[in-house]
Amino acid sequence: MALSLPPLQFFFVIFLVSSSLHFLPSESKLSKDYYAKSCPKFESIIQDVITTKQINSPTSAGATLRLFFHDCMVEGCDGSVLIASNAFNKAERDADINLSLPGDAFDVVVRAKTALELACPGVVSCSDILALAARDLVIMVGGPYYNVRLGRKDGFVSQASRVPANLPKSEMSMDEIIKLFHAKGFSIQEMVALTGAHTIGFSHCKEFADRLFSHSKTSQVDPDLNPKFADGLKKVCGSYKTNPTMSAFNDVITPNKFDNMYYQNLQRGLGLLASDNALIKDPRTKNFAILYATNQTAFFEAFSHAMEKLSVLGIKTGHKGEVRHRCDAFNSIKA
């Protein structure tokens, strides 16, 4: 017998069915206790590795958080940035913008993978290692807790040619940055919150040298920079053309503490990158930057939300990925 429903109820049922189908993405296969049975020591092994690494190399937290962001924004959070290039393929990590990714971050993943392969071989993906290590390192340096659901598989593609169009650059206009994040599904507020990751870590001098040495025809130095800060940076970066490793902390006040000082710095002319400075000048982002400068709790809540969203961006599950034996190589040869 045919089901008889009034038109309004009928469309409501159709809406519920279509909505439930719409919200069955691959991330629904993830769970916080994914390795509870298959690798019960997973989280404790990650904790041991990052604790040792962070104590010995205090920039590891910022480095790993940056590596995670660069991974997720290109092919999704699938460990594609970890792949090493070979004679047949120039991988993501060798794209120009990724050449400055700190070695400490890669080392965190390698150390964790090595320990996990001894404890539960062939079980834990490199992408899950990176996701959890980034979160735990953020917490270790004072940042907020946020949920990391597990069960990602490692991707089959890593190509340098796919990187430039998917990562924000310091010289981009705010229009370009907003458009890039919007294409990934992030709002302006989420973009501003994610940029708060600059409260830890460092940037190489070449990324902001034009603000010090060639800002405009009328001013060598960007007038938005605090004069004393600019003088200090010029001394640090004086030989950046011959020594490309020269760098400066993104947050000059509390460089190794995850807090809201980054946003406070913007109002004092202490924003390192041109894109940092733009946050406090563009009317679309200024109010969020000021809010996070005055209210660290609001920043932590927004950052946690944005990181949870980032951590499931473009993930692979099931047969769409694999669990690599080594994080820098596909299990079989793929482009």
Residue type, 14: I
Contact 244, 288 (CB under 8 A): no
Beta carbons within 8 Å of 73's beta carbon, 6+ residues apart: 166, 167, 184, 313
Exposure class string for 133-144: b at 16+ Cβ within 10 A, else e: bbbbbbebbebb
- State how far the Cα of 17 lies from the Cα of 224, in Å rounded to an integer: 53
Name the residues annotated as catalytic.
70
Roughly how many angstroms between the first and final C-alpha of the chain, as a whole number? Answer: 55
Beta carbons within 8 Å of 158's beta carbon, 6+ residues apart: 75, 80, 81, 82, 83, 89, 91, 92, 93
Annotated binding-site residues for heme b read: 198
Q: Please name the residue ranges forming H helices in the chain.
A: 7-22, 42-56, 60-75, 103-119, 126-140, 174-183, 188-195, 210-213, 227-236, 261-266, 274-279, 286-294, 296-310
Annotated binding-site residues for substrate read: 168
Annotated binding-site residues read: 71, 74, 76, 78, 80, 92, 168, 198-199, 251, 254, 259
